[in-house]
Structure 1
Amino acid sequence: MLLSCCMLYLLWCGTVLAAAADEKEKKPDPVDVTITAPASLKKLLEKHMTLPAKPFRDEIDQAAYARKIRQESIELLATEGYFTPEIEFDEKKGNGKAKAKAYELRITPGPRTRVAAVTIEFQGALAADEPAYRARAEQLRAEWPLTPGKVFRSARWEDAKSALLSSIANRDFATARIVESQAKVDPDTAQATLSITIDSGPAFRYGELQITGLERYKPDVVQNSVPFRPGDPYRREQLLAFQAALQNSQLFNAAAVTVKPDPMQHEAVPVIVTLTEAQSKHIGAGLGYSSNNGARGEVNYRDYNFLGRAWNLSSLLRLEQKRQTFSTRVDTLPDANHFQYSSGVRVERTDIKNLQTFNQRVDFSRIRTTANSILQVGVNWQREQREPSGAPKTTNETLALDLWYRYHDIDDPVNVRRGFVSEVRLGGGSSYVLSDQDFIRSYLRHQHWLPIGRRDTLYFRAEAGYTLASSRQGIPQEYLFRAGGIQSIRGYDFLSLGVREGDAIVGGRVLATGTAEYVHWLTNDWGAAVFTDVGDAADSLKQFDLAIGYGIGARWRSPAGPFALDLARRHDTGTLRLHFSIAVAF
Structure 2
Amino acid sequence: MSRRWFAGLGAGLCLSLGALAQEAPAGTTPQDGNAAGTLLERAAPGAAGGDDAAAAAEQRSVTWQLRIDAPDNLRTLLARYLDLARFQPMAASERITRVELARLLAAAPQQARGLLETVGYFNARITSQTTGGETATPPADPARPIDLQITLTVEPGPQTTVGQVRLEIEGPLSETGDSGDAASRALIERMRAGWTLPAGQPYTQSAWSAAKAAVLVAARAEGYALATLSGSVAQVDAPANRADLFMVLDSGPLFRFGDLKFEGLNHVRPDALRAMVTFTPGEPLREQLLLDYQDRLVKSSLFDTVAVLFEPDADQAGAMPVTVRVHELALQQATFGVGASDTTGPRITVEHLHQQVFDLGWQAKSRLQLGRDTQSASVDLTSHPHPGPYRNLASAAVDRTEASGLRVTSERVRLGRTQDTEKVERLYFVEWQRALTRNVADGILTDDSSAVTLNYHWIWRRLDDPILPTRGYSLSAETAVGRSFASTDSSGFFGRAAGRLTGYWPLGQSWYGQARVQLGQVYARDAVAVPFTLLFRAGGDDSVRGYGYQTLGPSSAGNGSAVGGRVVGTGSIELARPFSRNLPAWWWGVFLDGGNAAARWEDFSTVYGYGLGLRWRSPVGPLRIDLAYADELRKMRLHFSVGVTF
Q: Equivalents in 2 of 1:550, 1:219: separation in Å?
A: 52
Give the Cα–Cα distance (whole angstroms) in 1 for the partners of residues 231 and 104 of structure 2. 37
Shift of 1:220: 0.9
> Letter of the aligned partner of 2:462 in structure 1?
D
Match of 1:181 in 2: 232
Rounded Cα–Cα distance in structure 1 between residues aligned with 2:574 and 2:372 = 29
User: Does the Cα contact within 8 Å between 2:553 and 2:563 map onto a contact in 1?
Assistant: yes
Q: Is the 8 A contact 2:450 2:485 kept in 1?
A: no
> Which amino acid is 2:545 matched to?
R
Alpha carbons 1:565, 1:580 under 8 Å: kept: yes
1:118-157 maps to which residues of 2 (within 5 A)?
Answer: 118-128=165-175, 129-132=178-181, 133-134=184-185, 136-157=187-208
Counterparts of 2:201 and 2:615, CA distance in 1: 43
Residue 215 of structure 2, aligned match among 139, 143, 164 = 164
Is the counterpart of residue 416 in structure 1 residue 469 in structure 2?
Answer: yes
How do residues 173-322 of structure 1 correspond to structure 2 at under 5 angstroms?
173-322=224-373
Assess if the C-alpha contact under 8 Å between 2:543 and 2:570 holds in 1. Answer: yes
- Tell me the CA shift for residue 76 of structure 1: 0.6
- 1:444-496 Cα offsets, whole Å, 9 max, x none, are 22222232222322222222222122337632112111122221122222212
Out of 557, 560, 566, the residue aligned to residue 509 of structure 1 is: 566
CA 1:541–1:167 in 2, change beyond 3 Å: closer, same or farther?
closer
User: Relative to 1, partners in 2 of residues 1:43 and 1:386: Cα closer, same or farther, differing over 3 Å?
Assistant: closer
Counterpart pick for 2:482 among 426, 429, 444 = 429
Q: CA deviation at 1:139?
A: 4.2
- The one-letter code matched in structure 1 to 2:116 is L
Counterpart residue identity of residue 347, structure 1: V
Q: Which residue of 1 aligns with 2:151?
A: 104
Gaps of 5+ in 2: 1-59, 140-145
In the alignment, which residue of structure 2 is the partner of 1:347? 398
| Partner SS state of residue 375, structure 1 | strand
Q: Tell me, which stretches of 5 or more residues in structure 1 are unaligned?
A: 1-26
TM-score with structure 1 length normalisation?
Answer: 0.88
Structure 1 155/506 Cα, relative in aligned 2: closer, same or farther at 3 Å? same
**CA pair 94-582 structure 1, distance change in 2 beyond 3 A:** same
Distance in 2 (alpha carbons) for counterparts of 1:228 and 1:423: 28
Q: Which moved more, 1:423-432 or 1:505-514?
A: 423-432
The corresponding residue for 1:338 is 389
Instruction: Give CA deviations for 1:258-306 in whole Å, capped at 9, x if unaligned.
Output: 2231111111111121222221211001111111111101100111222
Aligned partner of residue 272 in structure 2, secondary structure: helix
Pairing partner for 1:396 from 421, 429, 449:
449
2:229, 2:248 within 8 Å by CA — same for their partners in 1? yes
| 1:498 counterpart residue number | 553
Question: Given that residues 436 and 445 in structure 2 are in contact (C-alpha distance below 8 angstroms), is that contact kept between their aligned partners in structure 1?
Answer: no
Tell me by how many angstroms 1:83 deviates. Answer: 3.3
Shift of 1:90: 4.5
Q: 2:39 maps to which residue?
A: none
Please say if residues 62 and 148 of structure 2, whose CA atoms lie closer than 8 Å, have aligned partners that are also in contact.
no
Is the contact between residue 398 and residue 436 of structure 1 (CA under 8 Å) also seen in structure 2? no
What letter corresponds to residue 287 of structure 1 in structure 2?
V
The residue type paired with residue 105 of structure 1 is L
Measured against aligned partners, the alpha-carbon deviations of 1:199-245 in whole angstroms (never above 9, x if no partner) come to 21111211111222212222112111212100111201111111222
Tell me the distance in 1 between the aligned counterparts of 2:270 and 2:331. 16
Structure 1 position 28, deviation (Å):
6.9
SS at match of 1:430: strand
Query: Which residue is equivalent to 1:67?
Result: 106
Q: Which amino acid aligns with 2:548?
A: D
Greater displacement, 424-433 / 436-445: 424-433
Query: What's the offset of the Cα at 1:61?
Result: 4.0
How well do the aligned residues superpose, as a CA RMSD in angstroms? 2.8
* 1:344-493 correspondence to structure 2 within 5 Å: 344-388=395-439, 389=441, 392-430=445-483, 436-471=491-526, 474-493=529-548
Query: 1:310: Cα distance to partner?
Result: 3.5
2:639 is the alignment partner of 1:579: yes
Amino acid at match of 1:421: S
Q: Which amino acid aligns with 1:76?
A: L
Contact between 1:555 and 1:563, CA under 8 Å: does it hold in 2?
Answer: yes
- Corresponding letter in the other structure for 1:146: L
How far residue 312 of structure 1 moved from its aligned partner, in angstroms, is 1.8
SS of the residue aligned with 2:337?
A: strand
1:7 — aligned with what?
A: none
Shift in CA distance, 95/427, structure 1 to aligned 2, threshold 3 Å: farther
Q: How far does residue 85 in structure 1 lie from its aligned partner after superposition?
A: 3.7
SS at match of 1:165: helix
What amino acid is the match of 2:546?
G
- In the alignment, the residues of structure 1 paired with residue 103 and residue 484 of structure 2 have an alpha-carbon distance, to the nearest angstrom, of 98
- In structure 2, the residue matched to 1:533 is 593
1:32 maps to 2:85: no
Q: Deviations over 1:484-543 (max 9, x none)?
A: 222112222221223323422121222222222222332312222222222222223343
1:42-75 Cα distance to aligned partner (Å, 9 max, x none): 33212322235258745x5454223332332122
| Distance in 1 between residues matched to 2:229 and 2:566, nearest whole Å | 67
Secondary structure, in 3 states, of the residue corresponding to 1:334? Answer: coil
Letter in 2 for 1:403: Y
Q: Is the 8 A contact 1:340 1:366 kept in 2?
A: yes
Letter in 2 for 1:510: V
Cα distance in structure 2, aligned partners of 1:449 and 1:257: 31
Matched to 1:120, the amino acid is: L
Q: Secondary structure at the match of 2:378?
A: strand
- Equivalent position amino acid for 1:65 in 2: L
Q: Which amino acid aligns with 1:478?
A: T
1:100 and 1:193 mapped to 2: Cα distance?
46
Measured after TM superposition, the shift of residue 350 of structure 1 is 1.9
Matched to 1:269, the amino acid is: M
Pair 543,125 (structure 1): closer, same or farther in 2 beyond 3 Å: same
The Cα offsets for residues 127-151 of structure 1, whole Å up to 9 and x where unpaired, read as: 2132233554344334333344443
Residue matched to 1:4: none
Residue equivalent to 1:556? 616
Residues 363 and 378 in structure 1, CA contact (< 8 A), matched pair in contact too? yes
The CA distance in 2 between the partners of 1:371 and 1:108, in whole Å, is 53
Aligned to 1:521: 578
Q: Which amino acid aligns with 2:168?
A: E
- Aligned in 2, Cα 1:200/1:574: closer, same or farther, shift over 3 Å? same
Residues 91, 186 of structure 1: alpha-carbon distance in 2 compared, 3 angstrom cutoff? same
Question: Does the residue aligned with 1:221 lie in a helix, a strand or coil?
Answer: helix
